[in-house]
């Protein structure tokens, strides 16, 4: 234990460190990345994606939705996506396992709708009751 007013003298110690060299690593990395992105700007990527949403009420699952996509992207981001398959189900009651509504090929339903189709609505045959 030290008492108040007591002084402890320490001898100074010199530590010599090697020289530090600052480089342009970050700048060179960004330049290289930018040049590579410009060089490959026409390159297209195609990926598969999956989305799942489960709706719960009072901690009990009542609805489920699953969608499988094919996504086309390039260096600028996602250009377009296509729904390959989609499923939806809704339970009749929270204490039941019976489904009140479900379908397993929602992609046909959504792609037949004029909202998701590239064909003008006036030129399409009525395939689904969802169409105007």
115 token code pair: 């909202």
Instruction: Convert the pLDDT of each residue in 54-85 to its tens digit.
Output: 888 888 888 888 888 888 888 778 888 888 88
**In the predicted model, is pLDDT for residue 29 greater than 90?**
yes
Q: What is the pLDDT of residues 110-125, one digit of tens each?
A: 555 444 445 555 555 5
Strand (E) positions, the chain? 45-57, 60-74, 77-91, 99-103
Model pTM greater than 0.75?
Answer: no
User: Residue 8 has what DSSP assignment?
Assistant: -
How would you classify residue 22: left for phi > 0, otherwise alpha for psi between -120 and 50, otherwise beta? beta
Tokens 């489960």 label which residue?
54
């Amino acid at each position: 234990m030290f008492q108040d007013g007591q002084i402890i003298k320490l001898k100074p110690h010199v530590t010599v460190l090697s020289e530090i060299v600052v480089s342009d690593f970050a700048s060179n990395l960004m330049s290289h990345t930018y040049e590579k992105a410009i060089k490959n700007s026409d390159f297209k990527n195609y990926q598969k994606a999956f989305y799942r949403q489960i709706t719960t009420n009072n901690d009990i699952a009542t609805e489920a939705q699953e969608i499988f996509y094919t996504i086309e992207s390039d260096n600028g981001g996602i250009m377009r996506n296509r729904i390959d398959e989609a499923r939806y189900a809704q339970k009749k009651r929270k204490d039941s396992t019976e489904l009140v509504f479900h379908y397993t090929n929602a992609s046909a339903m959504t792609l037949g709708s004029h909202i998701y189709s590239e064909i003008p609505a006036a030129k399409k045959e009525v395939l689904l009751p969802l169409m105007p």
